[in-house]
Chains A and B, each alone.
Chain A
Amino acid sequence: MVFLGASATATILLQGLFFGGILSLIAVGLTLIFGVSKVLNIAHGDFLFLGGATTVVLFTVFGLNPFLSIAVVVPVFAFVGVLMSYLMRKPLQARTQELATAASVLVTLGLSNLIEGIGSRAAPIYGYNYFSIPSSTIGIGSISIADVVLNGVFLIAFFVVIAISVGVTFLVYKTSLGSTMRAAMADREVALMLGIDTNRVSMVTFAIGISLAALAGTIDVLTTNLTPDTGLTLTVFALTVVVLGGLGSFYGALLGGFLIGFVTNLVELVLIDLNFQGSEWAGAVPLIILIAVLVARPTGLLKR
């Protein structure tokens, strides 16, 4: 048995919560987009990569502090989201909802392949073999609280994630925009009858969803290395969360993300303690949870 010190243990668990926070941001975007426009966006993880890549490029070329580049990334990717909603209008005209979702899976899968294909060729050409911003370059050191040493950048990023989660929850549940979104999610036809412009709501939801993913990428790049091909794997993890919480359930995605991230790192911790290769096998945890949930309760835990 290998016992890690309090510092390492706390770091791993907090990292789990952080990773879970990133996951929940992606998952929330996915579930909102699916709930409102019935599009299953396979390319969602790739937008996280694009957000992170943009941040790194802005940092290395213009010296823009990553936390400040949020102000650039969000509007740009909100616009990208709007473009995507226009792209998705054609597949969504299919006869049944299942056909529409299937067609959207095809188109977004193609989009994901495009992003990954172009990204993995273009990135090395411009000198980026991977995208990350080492915390040493931002100039915030470590902070130690009661014998536990934590990385300063990591802590700030963690709180940013929490703040964004709170912000999105506020947006969806306390604003009138949020209620139109929830109405369209609950029943699109009735929402139409009530006078809600569902096309516009779709557009806005796409904007919010994609910019959330890009935002998650901006934060993620501070702590991890991003490569162009991580998009699809991340999407699969996010889909785990979404399925766990229920496709279309906002709180399910939010809480499910934190839960899965935490459980993944908890399992990793246990495996390291037991002397297995924790960090390698831990990646299988979300997938096993996914399959287990799909077997036991396909509609998800929180969806009625």
Chain B
Amino acid sequence: MARSPFSGFVIWTIIGLAIFSLAALASGKGAIFNDILQILLFASMALCYDYFSGFTGYYNLGFGAFVALGAYVFVISTNHGMNVLASFALAGVLSALFAAGVSYPLLRLRGAYFAIATLALVVLLQIFDTNLFNFTGGTIGLPVDVANGNYQLPLFVASLGFTIVAIMVHHLIGRSRLGLALKSIREDEDVTESYGVNTFRTKQIVMVLSGLFAGFSGCLFAVYLQFINSTNILGLGFGLFPVVASIAGGSGIFLGPVVGSFILSGLNAVVPEIIAAINPTLIFGPLVVSGVILVVVGLFLPGGILRTRSLSRYAYMRPDRSITNYFTQGRRGIAKAR
């Protein structure tokens, strides 16, 4: 498999994304633009979630708390006049610090206990948010006052850039010693510990990294949503999106969360309309869609779509070599290109 972080596969994914996005831009600022923007935002969030959960195998169900914290920091500081870039950085840093602080109690736990505790973290943050409403706006929320006028284009460029960075970081982690340690933790934590790896420190590093990027992601979402309150950014539907996307697409593979986000966003946009067209009284929302996906994935595709036997051949494929292989070896050569 390719070793350099700039291997053909990553480059081609990035190029593909860029082309896709530019096509969206060219189509004018319409629904497609909005859909692509949304997919980019959610994909980057899912990638940040996957830094921790994909490699270690733990389900960080409380990831939404990191994102929401970043969003709130960003909004509160820009509303108080702080420069946008400084707020962006501050949001990331504070989110990372929160992740570091929270990692001390949380990383002692394993498996189911960890999932429960992180879930409780989100609910706890929701309660704090609702009660400190003088500061945070509670359920009514805070408006985002960042760019007067046309913010769509800079937001799009920023999200595209952020997604690309997120993909590269994910790939880098996967290829590094840190990634190796994390993957061994996923396989068997006790054995890894007995090999001399400080599992706590390893998990903490990647959790802080995940928190840092989650903070940035929260800022982008705040600008996209134009106002934040305890339901839209701290709600379970939002916070569970990266979980579902990453699990459905394939956790631990960098393409997984991206594919998962495509699928989930696409289904969220398309399925309710289809069902409403068939039977107008049945209105289903994103919760139902993610519920069905979770059940199906949990029952039939435990590793995600990209790990099924038919698709896992393609998960690490290099499109550039695939094309040359096709001409030299015929159809069989496509999947052999690694």
Given contacts A90-B299, A120-B287, A125-B281, whether A106 and B294 have CB atoms under 8 Å apart is: yes
The reply on B24 being an interface residue by CB < 8 A is no
Do A117 and B302 touch across chains, with their CB atoms under 8 A apart? Answer: no
Q: Which residues of B contact A280 (CB under 8 A)?
A: 127, 130-131
**Least CB separation from B231: chain A residue:** A229
| B115 contacts chain A at the CB level, 8 A cutoff | yes
Q: In the complex, are the beta carbons of B288 and A118 less than 8 A apart?
A: yes
1/0 per residue, CB under 8 A from B, across A273-300: the answer is 0000100110110011011001100100
What is the CA–CA distance of A121 and B311 in the complex, to the nearest angstrom?
36
Q: Is B127's CB under 8 angstroms from A283's CB?
A: yes
Residues of B within 8 A of A (CB-CB), count: 47
The CA-CA distance from A239 to B302 in the complex, in Å, is 24
Smallest Cβ-Cβ distance to A280: which chain B residue: B131
Q: How far in angstroms is the closest Cβ of chain B from A99?
A: 8
Query: Is A189 part of the contact surface with B, judged by Cβ < 8 Å?
Result: no
Minimum distance in angstroms from B140 CB to a CB of chain A: 15
- Contact mask A237-259 → B, CB, 8 Å, 1/0? 00110010001000000000000
Residues of chain B within 8 A (CB-CB) of A247 are 112-113
A109-B240, A281-B131, A287-B124 given as contacts; is B111 within 8 A of A101 (CB)? yes
Is B266 interfacial (CB 8 A cutoff)?
no
Say whether A105 contacts B292, CB under 8 Å: no
CB pair A232 B236 closer than 8 Å: yes
> When the two chains form their complex, are residues B288 and A291 in contact, meaning their CB atoms are under 8 A apart?
no
A110-B292, A112-B291, A114-B292 as given contacts; A243 in contact with B124, CB under 8 Å: no
B285 contact set on A, CB distance < 8 A: 117, 120-121
Q: Is the CB of A288 within 8 A of B113?
A: no
Question: Which residues does chain A contribute within 8 Å of B105, judged by CB atoms?
Answer: 291, 294-295
Check: A187 CB closer than 8 A to any chain B CB: no
Q: Does A181 contact B (CB under 8 A)?
A: no
* B293 at interface, CB cutoff 8 A: yes
* A91 B299 Cβ-Cβ under 8 A: yes
Provide the bound-state CA to CA distance between A281 and B293, in Å. 35
A118 CA / B111 CA spacing, docked (Å): 29
Which A89-139 residues have C-beta < 8 A from chain B? 90-91, 94, 98-99, 101-107, 109-118, 120-121, 125
Is B295's beta carbon under 8 Å from chain A?
yes
Q: Which residues of A contact B59 (CB under 8 A)?
A: 102, 105
Residues on the B chain within 8 Å of A121, using CB: 282-285, 288
B281, A287: Cβ atoms under 8 Å?
Answer: no
Distance to closest chain A CB from B332 (angstroms): 32
User: Closest A-chain residue to B122, C-beta based?
Assistant: A236
- Shortest Cβ distance from residue B128 to the other chain A in the assembled complex, whole angstroms: 7
B295 in contact with A114 (CB, 8 Å): yes
Whether B112 contacts A102 by the Cβ 8 Å rule is: yes
Which chain B positions have C-beta within 8 A of A281?
Answer: 127, 131
B315 within 8 Å of A (CB atoms): no
- A40: Cβ under 8 A from any B Cβ: yes
- Binary contact track B234-268/A, C-beta < 8 Å → 1, others 0: 00110010000001000000000000000000000
CB distance B240 to A113 under 8 Å?
A: yes
- A121 nearest in chain B by CB position: B283
* B117 located at the interface, meaning its Cβ lies under 8 Å from any Cβ of chain A in the complex: yes
B295 A117 Cβ-Cβ under 8 A = no
A142 within 8 A of B: no
**B residues near A243, Cβ cutoff 8 Å:** 113, 116
**Residue B119 at the chain A interface, CB threshold 8 Å:** yes
Instruction: Identify A298's interface contact among B108, B283, B293, CB under 8 A.
Output: B108
Q: For the complex, give the distance between the alpha carbons of A101 and B57 in Å.
A: 13
Q: Give the 7 A-B CB pairs with smallest separation, nearest first.
A: A110-B294, A117-B287, A113-B291, A106-B298, A114-B291, A117-B288, A107-B298
Binding site for A on B (CB under 8 A): 57, 59, 105-106, 108-113, 115-117, 119-121, 123-124, 127-128, 130-131, 236-237, 240, 247, 281-300, 302
Extra contacts besides A121-B288, A283-B127 (18): CB < 8 Å: A40-B115, A98-B110, A106-B298, A110-B292, A111-B295, A113-B237, A113-B287, A113-B288, A117-B286, A117-B288, A236-B119, A239-B116, A243-B113, A280-B130, A290-B116, A291-B121, A294-B117, A295-B105
Residues of A within 8 A of B (CB): 40, 87, 90-91, 94, 98-99, 101-107, 109-118, 120-121, 125, 232-233, 236, 239-240, 243, 247, 277, 280-281, 283-284, 287-288, 290-291, 294-295, 298
Can you pick out 12 interface pairs between chain A and chain B where the beta carbons lie within 8 Å of each other? A101-B112, A109-B294, A110-B291, A110-B296, A113-B240, A113-B288, A114-B287, A236-B123, A287-B123, A294-B108, A298-B108, A298-B113
